[in-house]
Structure 1
Amino acid sequence: MRHARYSWCVDNEVGHEIAEALGVLLRRTTRAQLHRQLTEGMGEGVDEVTYPVLSALARTGPRSAAELAPDVGIDRSGVTRRASRLEAAGLVRREADPEDRRAQLLVLTEQGRHTVAELRGRLAAHITASLADWPPGEAEAFARRLRRFTAEGPFA
């Protein structure tokens, strides 16, 4: 019985460690700081405020501001304001929703897709650089386990 209790405590400690690390990663200030670094020098309309909208559109495809809002973590009017900045920069365009002509979809332009590709490249390089001092194979193992955690863990 004592062994089972010890195992539960160790497992629970691991859960707390993971939860604490995720808390750091999920903080808005942490994300905003990363987005600021990634978007530096990207030009008009692309900054830490508009980055989440651009990134979400790349992940989800065309969406209305209302549909995109939960993915971005802001309300519809906030998405609309950010999308207007991205539209002015030529990265997003609005199209009539074929299923509801009253609604507008936000769609990445070709320039928007190129910008997202550059941002994703910057993010990958940033992550790779931060793992450069890890022992051989450890980063690869972490990547596999993180992918499994996101597929099978509490966020699946």
Structure 2
Amino acid sequence: MRTMWTMSTIMHSALSTDIVHQVDRFMRRLHASVHSQSHEFDTEMIGQIGCLLLLTLADIQPARIHEVVQQMQRDKSQITRSIKVLEANGLIKRQQCPEDARVRMIALTEKGQGVVRAFRRSLSEILEEILSPLNQEEQRVFQCLLQKL
């Protein structure tokens, strides 16, 4: 019985290692594609962190800065600097929290929403290319698995 458990553990470990390798490979390919096409959607020259911040904010806005920091798992000073750049470019705005007048929240401006739409369009095109070896059913299964995670 002990041998079976050990074999099961070894098989599970090998599967986990392969999954880690495949996810890493997929993410590196995605990152490289996004980086190579960033000139098409990053017209404001806000960089990777700026784009990720706008995408995060699009999902949770309006939000307190600490909520954005938690969502992005980044250093607060890095997020604060990015917020200042995004605000200076007219992509986000600060507003008063309706529940607590002492708290300031951030939200996308119309211009910021436009940048998010452009980024999502470009990302969609990139993913279409990356996922092109998969047929429609495989892409649907992949989407379902991602939603489950």
Deviations 1:79-128 (A, max 9, x none): 12111111122210000122222221111112212221221121121011
- The residue type paired with residue 69 of structure 2 is A
Q: Higher helix share goes to which structure? A: 2
Counterparts in 2 of 1:64-75, with a 5 A limit? 64-75=64-75
Q: Which residue of 1 aligns with 2:104?
A: 104
Q: Which residue of 1 aligns with 2:38?
A: 39
Residue aligned with 2:105, SS: strand
Counterparts in 2 of 1:1-156, with a 5 A limit? 1=1, 5-22=6-23, 33=32, 36-37=35-36, 39-41=38-40, 42-135=42-135, 137-148=137-148, 150=149
Q: Kindly tell me: are residues 101 and 34 of structure 1, through their superposed partners in 2, closer, same or farther at Cα, counting changes over 3 Å?
A: farther
Q: Distance in 1 between matches of 2:129 and 2:25?
A: 19
TM-superposed CA distance for 1:17, in Å, is 2.0
Asked if 2 retains the 8 angstrom alpha-carbon contact of 1:92 and 1:112, the reply is: yes
Q: Which has the higher contact order (CA 8 A, sep 6+)?
A: 2
Which ranges of structure 2 fall in alignment gaps of 5 or more residues? none
Provide the aligned length of Structure 1 versus Structure 2. Answer: 146
- The residue type paired with residue 46 of structure 2 is V
Q: Percent identity?
A: 24
Q: Distance in 2 between matches of 1:54 and 1:95?
A: 16
Q: Distance in 1 between matches of 2:57 and 2:143?
A: 24
Asked if 2 retains the 8 angstrom alpha-carbon contact of 1:45 and 1:89, the reply is: no
Query: If the length of structure 1 is used for normalisation, what is the TM-score?
Result: 0.75
Which ranges of structure 1 fall in alignment gaps of 5 or more residues? 151-156
